[in-house]
Every structure is written in C-alpha cells, then in structure tokens.
Amino acid sequence: MYQKLLIAIDPEDDGEGKRALEAAMDLLAEDGELHLASVFSPGGGGFFPHVTEEAPERKEAEVREMLDLLVRKYLPLNRSATLHVVAGSAGEKLVGLAGQLCVELMILVSRGSSGHWPLRRATVEYVAVNATCAVLVLPSMDKAELEKSEEHRE
C-alpha cells in the first residue's frame, strides 16, 4: 500500500476519472494522502498576445470545479483528496508536482495518440522516464473494455 499517491486526471472525462480513483483506492493505505492533478494549457494568441481564448484564472477555476465534482461523485466519503490545478507542459508539471509532494506512486490514464487532453503518449513516456516515483499507466477506457470483451469470447 502507498502512503502518498498522485493521480493525473482529465476532469472532462468522467469514466476515466472514476476508473483512476477506483484504482487509487485499491492502492492507497487507509491513512494515506491522495492528490489529484490536472494540467491545462494557459492558451494565448501565439503571435497575437492580446488575443486569448480564456483568462488563465478562469480556466484554472473551471478545471478545479470539474476536479472537485469528480471527487464528490467517486471518492468514498471517508477519504479526502488535495486538488492541484497547474498551467503549462503536462509532463514537466506532473513530474515537478510529484517531486514536490514526495509521492510514492503516480497514476496516469493513457489515451494513446488521440484525445483532446494533452496527456498523450509523449507525456506518459516523459513522466515514466523522468518521475522520481513509481508510475502506473492505466489503459484508456476503450482499450480496457476491448480487452474485457475479448476475454469473454475466449
């Protein structure tokens, strides 16, 4: 069992959030600390710095609200989690946060090379290579469901 666990989570994907929290509950010690993190791109207009999609503070508040909703829906009532919402490069921010918190395990859900959240194959690889803690990569929901259906056919 782990005492400090960090889940990198896409707050917009309810199913994967639920799955990651369930996996964390199986691995976290009864008195362990759970941390949920989401990294967002601060946006910006590139060559037009005055043009922004959304103010970073607003985006951060929106992401934090979605993370909070996931926690209230799927985390057992006798557990709590600390939420971390950071802007920047997903891989670098997750590795830095894991080091800062001194976590023992980080859980990621791989989305392969698709998906709108920036936790793609390159980010998973970056985290797995550079993190100072153990890293557990759960397959995407689609892959997990495909494997289950294939097992039932055999």
Angle at which helix 121-130 crosses helix 90-101, to 10 degrees, equals 30
pLDDT along the chain (154 residues), means of 10: 94 86 96 94 54 71 92 93 93 96 94 53 89 92 56 58
| 35 beta partners | 6, 82
| pLDDT over 70 percentage in the chain | 77
Which tens digits make up the pLDDT trace of 102-126? 999 999 987 654 554 445 678 888 9
Question: So what's the pLDDT on residue 53?
Answer: 58
